[in-house]
Amino acid sequence: MSANADDLGFSIDMTVRNEWRNVDLLRTSVQNCFTAVFADVDGCHAIAMVTGELLENALKYGDWVSGDRAMFRLRVHRSSSSIVEVSVQNPLKESDVNAMNLLKAIEEISSYPKPEQAYRARMLQIAQSEEDTSPSRLGLVRIAFEGNCRIAAKIENGTVTVTAALDLT
């Protein structure tokens, strides 16, 4: 981890065991680190929320069966600009249904003029669907809406990297 208060840069890059309790440990660590460096409490909470949702998705939908490493990689980076990038990398094959669902969900979010509309539409879909029939996938659209993020995913060589870019302006 490194931080430079002069240019408000910040970087975290770590490989972590795929244990559920690590989600909250990392989420709160990211929140505390950013709060220590920056004065924007709302922005720090948004970065932490985005981190938590991405980590939860990695643990829920990653391929933790066929891979030989039960680890994921978290990167949080802010350069001198107002954009913070949070990315999580975990095992996932291109042919996996979760990979296709992920790309489809990102495409759907992008199809709305505003993330808020995508979020409300997803909530209404959840309300109208049968209980517990499929994953809610609310996390990604929450990231887009509450985190004011652009989301992208890259799947190659048996891993997926999901990146959320927060605009803190």
Partner 1 sequence: MDNLHSGDLTIEVAEGPDAVFRCTWKGKSNERNPPEILKPWFEKLLAAAGAKLGSIEMHFDKIEHFNSSTITALIRLIQNCRKTNIKLVMVYDQTLKWQRLSFDALRVFEKNDDLFHLRFA
Residues within the interface to partner 1 (CB under 8 A): 20, 23-24, 27, 42, 45-46, 48-49, 52-53, 56, 59-60, 116, 119-120, 123-124, 126-127, 131-132, 136, 138-139, 142, 145-146
Q: For residue 161, how far is the Cα from the chain centroid?
A: 10
> What is the closest distance, in whole angstroms, from the C-beta atom of residue 107 to partner 1 in the complex?
19
- How far is Cα 2 from Cα 17, in angstroms, rounded to an integer? 21
34, 37, 49, 58 from 31: Cα distances, Å: 5, 10, 9, 19
Give the C-alpha distances (Å, rounded to integers) separating 60 from 63, 94, 136: 9, 16, 12
Q: Least distance in Å: CB of 72 to partner 1?
A: 15
Q: Helix, strand or coil for residue 160?
A: strand
CB closer to partner 1 out of 57 and 89: 57
Closer CB to partner 1, residue 63 or residue 146? 146
Nearer CB in complex with partner 1: 3/112: 112
Which is nearer to partner 1, 62 or 139 (by Cβ)? 139
CB neighbour list of residue 94: distance below 8 Å, 6 or more residues apart: 155, 156
In the complex, the smallest distance separating the C-beta of residue 31 from partner 1, rounded to whole angstroms, is 9
Beta carbon nearer to partner 1, 63 or 116: 116
Question: What SS3 state is found at 86?
Answer: strand
Rounded to a whole number of angstroms, the minimum distance from the CB of residue 40 to partner 1 is: 10
Residue 90 in contact with residue 155, Cβ under 8 Å? no
**19 secondary structure, DSSP code:** -
* Cβ at position 28, least distance to partner 1 in Å: 8
